[in-house]
Amino acid sequence: MATRAAQRLLIVGWDAADWQVVDPLIKQGRMPVLASLIARGIRSDLSTLEPKLSPLLWTTIATGRTPDRHGIANFVEPKPDGSGLRVASSTSRKVKALWNIASQSGLRSQVTGWYASHPAEPIHGSVTSNLLMEGDPGDGGAWPLTPGTVHPEALADGIAASRVGRASMRSEGLMGLVPNLPAGLANDPRVETLCKLMAVAASVERAALTAMEHAPWDLAMVFLESIDTVGHHFMQYRSPRMKHVNEAEVRAFGGVMDAVYAWHDAALGRLLERAGPGTTVILVSDHGFHSGSGRPYLDDLPPERRMEKEASWHRSTGMLVAAGPGIRAGAAVAAANIVDIAPTALALLGLPAAKDFAGRALAEVIDASVPARIDSWEAIDGPSGLHAADARQDPYEAADAIQQLVDLGYMAALPDDAKAQVDLVRRESAFNVGAHLMSRGLVRSALPHFEMLCSARPDELRYRSCLASCLLGAGEPERAIEVVRGTLQRDAGHAEARLMLARALLDAGDRAASVREADAVARNVRSHPALVPALADLLLRQGRAKESASMQRRACEADRSSILPLLGLARALLCDLPSDPKARAAQLEAAAQAALDAMERSKAVPEGHMLLGAALAWYGDLAHARQSLDLALTFDAKHLASLRLRAVLAAHDGTMDDARALMVRAAEAQLAQELAEPAPWPFEWPALAAHLGVDQALLR
């Protein structure tokens, strides 16, 4: 084992925690523990994966592997005998988690509440699974632990006694969460829901404290889901008032989410106190959660689309905070993603990541050398604590947990028939894996998933939409047109399908028909604001740069927190440069400013640095253009446009070996993708090469 930068590592998961809520609370002094961690450590945005569903993401955080590799593809899964469903199980995870790797490396782990951790694995240390609260009767009495919840068994009685039932939460903690609750709402079902969800949080915290006290540990992992679960019920009441919420509801419940965040901060303080001085801490959220104008309204949706739309509450940017021994205080983090958490944790413990991990150790924040990667932890034998292959979960264990998923809106009410339940979950799991692959540009890998789904359910419009999107990405517009037209026969008003048809027609060479379809979408786009980025992009591809820029400006005004319209505006301005030198210079400055404004929202987006670099290069400021493009490649070493633009600048400087090496890297990156490469934008490398007098043939 290499030198350990962290002698004890505590990883705390806050599901859906978001800087947009946290930062104002820190300024108000309501999250002092987190503020202290940030002051002596690092903070960063944390990008996530698609689909933004917690079991998939938290298993990625624990394993360093993407959902198509780690095997957890849904909240629930079929029972092995096909008789119904159970919650996603530790026996279904296909790869080792951090606690398994630590175990076989001679380290003790303590794991509490992690998604898909039931039944508890027999690791070197302890596990309290995510079914800790199963069976809470709600009457204030004690209740037995579900078998398999705790390992080792010697810890079970202490864990069971530490739990807080929802009746106790009502009597002891409710007023701290809803201080202005009117007497007439004391028995409101929403109050009961809040007590139930926060009882889970309080019980996970107490179980973790109990386990920490039980035995020494090297790695502790504690997962609290309540910011997310409470958010799905109560974020709608937070100011500014949503249109369907009345003023009385805002007065009663508008402060719940801020109080829940403050509770988590206090709980973090208690965990840190029990962990003791000298503990290294990583706090992470798997995604964010809309709290302002981006909040969706869902009551008018059919049940089968609830999970899809509930996930629309989730923002793509989560949180990362780290502090303590081994962390370089104040270090800048380069484009962190949830796939980077596992390799970073291993590096802090002096252990190597594997070559089959999806992410990297965040070496820039670790005050020690990062161990060289091994081929795979899966190939290394040892007492890892993985379950035996024939381990099974009892059928009754998942009933309450599954009902909670229905209550949260993540699942439609299940069919009564067991076979129908299993078929539904298999379809949704295949959909989740396909959506994940598609989000990474692996469209040819995703295609079989959606072809199978459309064959089984040809009338399911979201399956057809994803199939068409994959076909477009794979460069098969004629097949995409056939699929989309089939969708429109089923739902003529499907705006997303009409926009996709316009894109497919353009790719197939029928610009006139594409323009007609795009104009039809544009006339109704106010009813579908989520389509604005894709519509503006299509207008740009149709050669309608001014219309695209105008649409992006309106989108910027409508949502001042979003980065996409600013990137789109910069791109549109660069695609339509005037011939008059003075007007051209002014438009390049405007494009650069739009890119800079985007990076004020997030510096870790390579597209923003690329667009700024392109604007500077066309303006003639080649030195700063190089810097911007190099930054883009720091955040994404395989960013195609940045590689090619940087190659042009290297060739212009006369460093042809560097230029050719960059173009080779670009070719390798393109080969690794499954997306068909679109025609370059008018400002990209062929045009810039011509503008700077660089012979394109030297770069091909």
| 332 sits in which H/E element | none
- In terms of Cβ atoms closer than 10 Å to its own Cβ (0-12, 13-18, 19+), residue 331 is middle
Q: What is the pLDDT of residue 81?
A: 65
Residue where the block lists tokens 């008789």: 83
Q: What is the pLDDT of residue 409?
A: 61
Res 345 pLDDT > 80: yes
Residues 6+ apart with CB under 8 A from 455: none
Q: What is the pLDDT of residue 406?
A: 62
Res 395 pLDDT > 50: no
For residue 19, what are the CA distances in angstroms to 249, 265, 315, 478, 599? 25, 13, 11, 43, 16
Task: Say what the pTM is.
Answer: 0.87
Q: What is the pLDDT of residue 212?
A: 96
Quickly name the fold that domain 9-408 has: Alkaline Phosphatase, subunit A (3.40.720)
Distance between CA atoms of residues 130 and 133, nearest Å: 8
Give per-residue pLDDT as tens, 104-134.
999 999 999 999 999 999 999 999 999 999 9
Q: What is the pLDDT of residue 411?
A: 56
| Residue scoring higher pLDDT (583 or 76) | 583
Q: What is the pLDDT of residue 344?
A: 98
Res 59 pLDDT > 50: yes
How, if at all, do strands 125-128 and 109-112 pair? parallel
Mean pLDDT of 8-32: 97
496-517: buried (b, 16+ CB within 10 Å) or exposed (e) per residue?
bbbbbbbbbbbbeebeebbbeb
pLDDT more than 70, % of the chain: 93
Can you give 214-230 as a three-state secondary structure string? HCCCCEEEEEECHHHHH
Complete edge-to-edge strand list for the sheet that includes strand 9-14 = 41-47, 317-323, 280-284, 9-14, 219-224, 109-112, 125-128, 150-151
Residue 575 DSSP code: T
Q: What's the pLDDT band for 394 if we cut at 50, 70, 90?
A: very low
Mean pLDDT of 40-48: 94
Give per-residue pLDDT as tens, 596-624.
999 888 777 889 999 999 999 999 999 99
Per the prediction, the chain carries an average pLDDT of 91
Res 343 pLDDT > 90: yes
Give per-residue pLDDT as tens, 215-258.
999 999 999 999 999 999 999 999 999 989 999 999 999 999 99
Res 400 pLDDT > 70: no
Ranked by mean pLDDT, the top range of 44-48, 299-303, 410-414 is 44-48
Lowest mean pLDDT among 177-191, 380-394, 546-560: 380-394
Distance of CA 562 to the CA centre of its chain: 16
Q: Which amino acid is at 11?
A: I
DSSP3 helix / strand / coil % (the chain, rounded to 5): 55, 5, 35
Q: What is the pLDDT of residue 535?
A: 94
Res 305 pLDDT > 60: no
Res 166 pLDDT > 70: yes
Q: What's the pLDDT band for 392 if we cut at 50, 70, 90?
A: very low
Q: Taking the CA atoms of the chain, what radius of gyration do you get in angstroms?
A: 26
β-strand partners of 9: 219, 280
Count of residues making up the chain:
700
Residue where the block lists tokens 């890892």: 384
Lowest mean pLDDT among 59-68, 329-338, 352-361, 447-456: 329-338
Distance between CA atoms of residues 230 and 197, nearest Å: 7
For the chain, the domains span 9-408
Distance between CA atoms of residues 385 and 120, nearest Å: 10
Lowest mean pLDDT among 193-202, 352-361, 588-597, 634-643: 634-643
Lowest mean pLDDT among 308-322, 363-377, 495-509: 308-322
Q: What is the pLDDT of residue 393?
A: 41
Q: What's the pLDDT band for 398 if we cut at 50, 70, 90?
A: very low
Q: What is the pLDDT of residue 309?
A: 62
Res 182 pLDDT > 50: yes
Nearest-CA neighbor of 241 among 233, 249, 232?
249
Mean pLDDT of 669-677: 87
Q: What is the pLDDT of residue 397?
A: 42
Mean pLDDT of 32-45: 97
Give per-residue pLDDT as tens, 517-559.
999 999 988 777 778 889 999 999 999 999 999 999 998 888 7
Distance between CA atoms of residues 409 and 297, nearest Å: 12
Give per-residue pLDDT as tens, 467-479.
999 999 999 999 9
